[in-house]
Amino acid sequence: MNPLNPDSRKEREPYVVTSKGHTAVAINAAAKAGEWIKSRQGLVKELGTKTSAQDLVTEVDKGVEQMIRRLILTHYPDHAILGEEGVEPGDEAAAAAITEARKHEYLWIVDPVDGTTNFVHGFPFYCVSIALVIRGDLTVGVIYDPIRDEMFVAEKGKGAYMHGVPTSVSSESELAGSLLAMGFPPDREFAQPANMAGLQSLLPQIRGIRAGGSAALHLAYVAAGRVDGYWEVGLKPWDCAAGVLLVLESGGKVTDTLGRAYDIGTCHVVASNGRIHEDLVASLKEADATGYKL
């Protein structure tokens, strides 16, 4: 190639970005975002609400999402980004955004702060969640907890890791010996009764339950074998896309609350080590706690 002749550029081999490149971008963005969020804990200036008084948003959620968008687009200007703060609040707008997002070959799904209520209260359990979907396939999932400096990374077909150490789900096979996690989205009309029914049904059958306030971190904890399973009715893709890949690549199972395969449009999610999955789904169905009309 002649560097002085611009036409000779045509002779160059096209640069193929590998999935490793995608993952590196996700890790870098999550690390920068996480540091920023942690540095602002206790210093929130603008506390706003979205769909209800319980649905919080701060200038940090918005600013961090902008930062992540800029970082991703610097590397991949033609990729699409579905970020929580870029979508109008409410289920209808989210459904429309998901339909639009499905059209894109390369789709990043971003939750800048998962666990905003915790962040606002100084409860140190929140994270950044970034996933990449390529032609409909969840391909990269990164979740960063800036408080514990834990970076969970999954690549489709290549496993899941936390700081280079493979993560794997637990081996518990009985609900009776299980520690589960769950959550309560801000919606109190539809999601809260369903999640309360699930809690009521499962708590007496298991060892214990945690509702830590970050869906993404709970999924990362299923992947890491720290809890045996997790479910929640009323999620959005940015809450769970990255965590779903982490669980799958750690040997676990993820379905909707009726036991059907996960898709980015799935809002009612069950994730587990696989061994307790059937029992978990059966209990939710029996308690009419799936979020679906049966």
Give binding residues for Mg(2+) as ranges.
Answer: 84, 111, 114, 239
For the bound state, the minimum distance from the C-beta of residue 30 to ligand IPD, rounded and expressed in Å, comes to 14
> Closest CB to ligand IPD among 60 and 154?
60
Q: Should residue 152 be labelled a site residue for ligand IPD when binding is judged by CB under 6 A?
A: no
| Candidate residues 111, 145, 256, 279; the one interacting with ligand IPD per rule CB under 6 A | 111
**CB-based closest residue to ligand IPD:** 183
For the bound state, the minimum distance from the C-beta of residue 266 to Ca ion, rounded and expressed in Å, comes to 15
For the bound state, the minimum distance from the C-beta of residue 183 to ligand IPD, rounded and expressed in Å, comes to 3
Nearest to 269 by CA among 204, 259, 174: 259
> Closest CB to ligand IPD among 108 and 184?
184
| Candidate residues 23, 58, 116, 272; the one interacting with ligand IPD per rule CB under 6 A | 116
For the bound state, the minimum distance from the C-beta of residue 185 to ligand IPD, rounded and expressed in Å, comes to 3
Q: Should residue 215 be labelled a site residue for ligand IPD when binding is judged by CB under 6 A?
A: yes
Strand order in the sheet with 137-145: 80-83, 106-114, 127-134, 137-145, 150-155, 159-162, 165-166
Site for ligand IPD, residues 45 to 104, rule: CB under 6 A: none
For the bound state, the minimum distance from the C-beta of residue 126 to Ca ion, rounded and expressed in Å, comes to 9
Q: d(Cα 70, Cα 68) in Å, to the nearest integer?
A: 5
> Closest CB to Ca ion among 84 and 256?
84
DSSP the chain: --TT-GGGGGGSPPPPPPHHHHHHHHHHHHHHHHHHHHHHTT----EEESSSTTSEEEHHHHHHHHHHHHHHHHH-TT-EEEEGGGS-SSHHHHHHHHHHHTT-SEEEEEEEEE-HHHHHHT-S--EEEEEEEETTEEEEEEEEETTTTEEEEEETTTEEEETTEEP-------GGG-EEEE---S-TTTHHHHHHHHHHHHGGGSSEEE--S-HHHHHHHHHTTSSSEEEEES--HHHHHHHHHHHHHTT-EEEETTSPBP-TT--EEEEE-SSSHHHHHHHHHHTT-SSS--
Contacts with Ca ion by CB under 5 A lie at 84, 111, 113-114, 239
> Closest CB to ligand IPD among 114 and 145?
114
Q: In degrees rounded to 5, what are phi and psi of residue 210?
A: -130, 135
Q: Should residue 183 be labelled a site residue for ligand IPD when binding is judged by CB under 6 A?
A: yes
Q: Should residue 115 be labelled a site residue for ligand IPD when binding is judged by CB under 6 A?
A: yes
Binding residue count for ligand IPD, defined by CB under 6 A: 15
> Closest CB to ligand IPD among 185 and 251?
185
Annotated binding site, which residues? 84, 111, 114, 239
- Residue 155 partner contact from Ca ion, ligand IPD, none using kind-dependent CB cut-offs of 5 to 8 Å: none
The stretch among 11-19, 207-215, 219-227, 283-291 that binds ligand IPD (CB under 6 A) is: 207-215
Q: Which residues bind ligand IPD (CB under 6 A)?
A: 111, 113-116, 183-185, 213-215, 232, 234-235, 239
